[in-house]
Every structure is written in structure tokens, then in C-alpha cells.
Structure 1
Amino acid sequence: MSQWVFDLGNTRLKCARLDDAGELGDVTALGHDAAGFAQALRAHLPEQADSACLASVASPELTAAVVQVLSERFRRISRVRTQPMLAGVRIAYAQPAKLGVDRFLALLAAHARGPGPWLLAGIGTALTIDLIDADGLHRGGRIAPSPRLMRQALHQAAAQLPFLGGDYHEFARDTEDALASGCDGAALALLERSLRLAGRELGQAPRLLLHGGGVDALLAELPDAEHAPALVLEGVAVWARLGRDLGAADRMDRIPG
């Protein structure tokens, strides 16, 4: 069976074919802000395949456009939804559907990697933090602006503050460096506080797992962190393997193609 998985985020679409064991093959990332996005996606896909699993946090219009392209090539398309309990993971939210599917999938992927506890940090448009204990119980999380969004907001409020540029220093000596240091530093401080308080709550320090397009700027300051650039897509693969084992209708919301 030829099965593909797709993670449609706010800036990029990541996709990969699953091997016979349900593991990710090579991951491709396509920016979807360009006019040729749909054509680039078609060029990357096989002419015909069995099934696709799609997770999306993008707009309904963009999601529908991607579904249209997938429906041309795949016999079955399944849309991933947040579940209260799945694969040993239990969501802390009283209304689990309010937890973003990207955060849900990151939790699935982290738990599948091995025993926790894990502190997950996704750095994209937003900075999301989620704590999951060794038993798979999601303890909750945080949402904040990412460093890039902080820079964008400052630039929009005061055009003389540049949107890009600068390097991280504890005490910067020019404006670009000060902006990079302040915005990156705010994210680092939130991560460090979350790690400290998670250790206090659980009685042991969690492992820090980073993902998202904005991670690179922070990695040098977090030497003990693990980097998982395709963590959400790993979660879609977990979902797809469950669908393969249990029957897609048991766990997946089918989209007519």
C-alpha cells in the first residue's frame, strides 16, 4: 500500500511517503505563499497512490486547495483530528478539540519516541509549549508569540526597528543585536522557566524536544535540547499506522475525493 502523510502549517507544507513499516521516508517542505505552490505539489506527488493523511492548521481555503490536489492523486484522503486519548496519550484539555492538531500530533510523536517526560516546544508563527509525563498524560501547555512574530510586531509598531538581522548576545551593543537578543531571550526565558517548573511538578526533569521553522536561532543556547524538525509529521505517521492497523474509519475523518 502506498501511503503518504502531510503536515500543512502556516508557512509550509511538509510531506513524506511512509515505508512498509509505516516509518517516514524523505521529508519535503514546500512554501505555500508562492503562486506556483499547487503545481509544485503536483510535481512532487505520484500519479496514483492509495492513501493520504493530512493534518492542517492553515486556513480553510488553503486546506481545501491542498485537498483538491490530493484528491487528484490519492484514492482515499483522511483528515487528522485531535482526539482525547490515542496511542497512550491523554489530552489535558477539558475540550480536547480546542487543542491544535499540530500540538496533539507532536505529543503523539514524542510519546512514540520513548518514555518521557517530555517538554515540547514548537517555534513557528507562535511558540507553543506542552508537557507530557512518562505515562502519556498531557499536563497542559502555553502559547506565546514566537521571536519572529515579536520582531514583526515591533517593526509594525515602530518602522525604524528592523524586522530582520542581528545576533544573540546577553547584552547587545547595537539595535539589530538588541532586537534579536530580546526576542530570542524572551523565548529562552519562557522555555527555561517551563523546564524548571515542569521538573518541580513531575519530580524529574523532562527532556526538551524542539521543532518548528524558528528553532535554529535558539539551538545554540539550548545545548541539551533534542531537535526534531519533522515532529508533527512523525505524529501524522503514528496516526496513519493506527489507521492501517485498526481500519481508517475507526480513527480518521474521511474526505470525499
Structure 2
Amino acid sequence: MNPTLLLDLGNTRLKWALLEGEHWRESGACRHVDIPQWIEAMRVRLPASTRRFGVNVAHDRLALELERQLGPIRWLVAEEQCCGVTNGYDEPERLGADRWAALIAAHHLHDGAALVVCCGTATTVDWLEADGRFRGGLILPGLTTMRESLVRATAKLPLAAGEVRLPPTNTRDAIASGCLLAQVGAIEHYYRVMEGTACGAVALVSGGDAEIIAAHLVIPARTVDNLVLRGLAVVAAASTRPTPSHDTRETAP
């Protein structure tokens, strides 16, 4: 069976996975600056028959370089419907491809309603009904982005490690606690809005800061690695299935 390469080209890193059929053979991540070395190492290992699927929310020049070096890549874009998920955005095509892939993954990982939370450079919080309808979602600065913005916008606040403590009694802890609780508060508030129509919903939390944020949530939640790549895997698997016949003639029992 032909291998499948999955690429999640994010704002700061490239996440990837190599599949044999539906088996995850290996996966990893690298910073944008290290992509040329990653390409060089990966290119010699991939047979010509490799299928390539990707999500890109970074600069287009990086996507073009990946295609130039690795071959054609099927870049996922949001649409009105895909793999059981219906897009509720006013303009479906304007939904970020990474959020779309994460929603597809969530629908195939969880039977009920879900709050799909991806914690990276930005934090996204998306409402997914049990029947696959995406109702809409939030975008806010990610945990690290929040802390860095304080350094850029103020004269004397440091970018320093602190602990989450209530009440915080020093500046480092005040920054750490404030930024984390801003994330937690947005997620929990949106969950309560959602819970009014979707009883029994669970938050599926993914991304680099998922463990930190999920540990402070008091709503039903679980962490899931690589939601975006998992969504791409669903799309890749669907693309290998034969197109259903439209012949509606009855056959003998």
C-alpha cells in the first residue's frame, strides 16, 4: 500500500506524520527555520507513489517550497461539507484549514457534541454538534502569544516563567496566572453557551499548550494529540474509497 505523508504547516512549526494504510508509522515536528533540512532528510525516504496531504496557515512560499521539493500536495481547504462535517461559517471557504481539519478529526473521534480546542500560536475554540454541524467558534491569542504581547506593549513587564497561583503575589505569577485563566475562562464560558443546546458535550484539547490548559479546566475535557493531522488522515482515507455507484436499479435477493 502506498504511504501517505500528512503535513500541518502552522504559524511557527511544521508538524508531520507518515502513514502506511491507516497505521501511523512515525510523526514529528520542526521549526520553520529547519524545514530545508527536514525536506532533505524526508525526500530521499519517500517513494514516488507517496500520497501527500497538507494544511497550510503559514506563508505560501513555504507551501510552494514543500511542493517543489516533495511533489504535488493536496492542500485541504474549508468547504461546505466534508467527511460528515457541515460548515456553519457565513462564508465556508474562509474558515481556517487547520480548524476545518480539527473539526473533521473530532467528529470521527467522538460520537457526541464537542468543543474543539486547539492551543498553539492562536487558541481556537470551535462548537461541533453531534451530527457534525460546526456552529462557529472563537479565536484568541495563544498562551505564549499573550505573554509575549505584554512584553511588546509595556515597558517593564518581563517575559519570565511564573506559576499559576491565586492570588498571585508577584509579577511573574500574575502574568502566568492571568494569561492561563484568560484561556481557561474563554473555553469554559463558550462551553456553557454550547451546553445549553448540547448536553453531555466534551472539550477535545490539542496543540502545544493543550496539557497546561486542560489541567485547569473544570468542564469535561480530554487531550488529543495532533487533531489537525488526524483530520487530514480521515480526508486521506476517504479519498481512497471508491465512488459509490449511482445505479439505483433493484437487484434480485
TM-score under structure 2 length normalisation: 0.89
Within-5 A mapping of 1:19-168: 19-20=20-21, 22-32=22-32, 34=33, 36-45=34-43, 46-50=45-49, 51-71=51-71, 76-168=72-164
Runs of 4+ in 1 over 4 A off after TM superposition: none
Displacement, 1:47? 4.1
3-state SS, counterpart of residue 18 of structure 1: strand
3-state SS, counterpart of residue 5 of structure 1: strand
Within-5 A mapping of 1:136-215: 136-202=132-198, 204-215=199-210
Aligned length: 239
Hey, what does 1:8 align to over in structure 2? 9
Compared CA separation, residues 164 and 215, structure 1 to 2 (3 A): farther
Asked which structure has the greater RCO (Cα within 8 Å, sep 6+), the reply is 1
Whole-Å separation in 2 of the counterparts to 1:47 and 1:25: 13
Letter in 1 for 2:39: L
Displacement, 1:142? 0.9
Deviations 1:58-84 (A, max 9, x none): 11122212222222xxxx421111121
Deviations 1:103-159 (A, max 9, x none): 000000000113120001111111111011111111111111122111111100114
Letter in 2 for 1:91: N
Whole-Å separation in 2 of the counterparts to 1:113 and 1:216: 18
Hey, what does 2:230 align to over in structure 1? 234
Contact 2:11/2:58 (<8 A) preserved: yes
Deviation larger for 189-198 or 210-219: 210-219
State the structure with more CA Rg. 2
Between the aligned residues of both structures, percent identity stands at: 33
Give 5+ residue unaligned stretches, structure 1: 248-257
3-state SS, counterpart of residue 55 of structure 2: strand
3-state SS, counterpart of residue 181 of structure 1: helix
Whole-Å separation in 2 of the counterparts to 1:57 and 1:68: 18
RMSD after superposition: 1.7
Displacement, 1:87? 1.3
Letter in 1 for 2:27: V
Whole-Å separation in 2 of the counterparts to 1:23 and 1:83: 27
Displacement, 1:246? 4.6
Displacement, 1:225? 1.8
Deviations 1:158-213 (A, max 9, x none): 142112311111211111110010011111011111111111132x0311101111
Letter in 2 for 1:138: F
TM-score under structure 1 length normalisation: 0.87
Whole-Å separation in 1 of the counterparts to 2:60 and 2:167: 43
Give 5+ residue unaligned stretches, structure 2: 244-253
Hey, what does 1:251 align to over in structure 2? none
User: Given the alignment of the two structures, is residue 222 of structure 1 paired with residue 223 of structure 2, yes or no?
Assistant: no
Whole-Å separation in 1 of the counterparts to 2:213 and 2:54: 29
Whole-Å separation in 2 of the counterparts to 1:66 and 1:153: 31
Contact 2:115/2:127 (<8 A) preserved: yes
Deviations 1:33-79 (A, max 9, x none): x2x421223213414242211111111122212222222xxxx4211
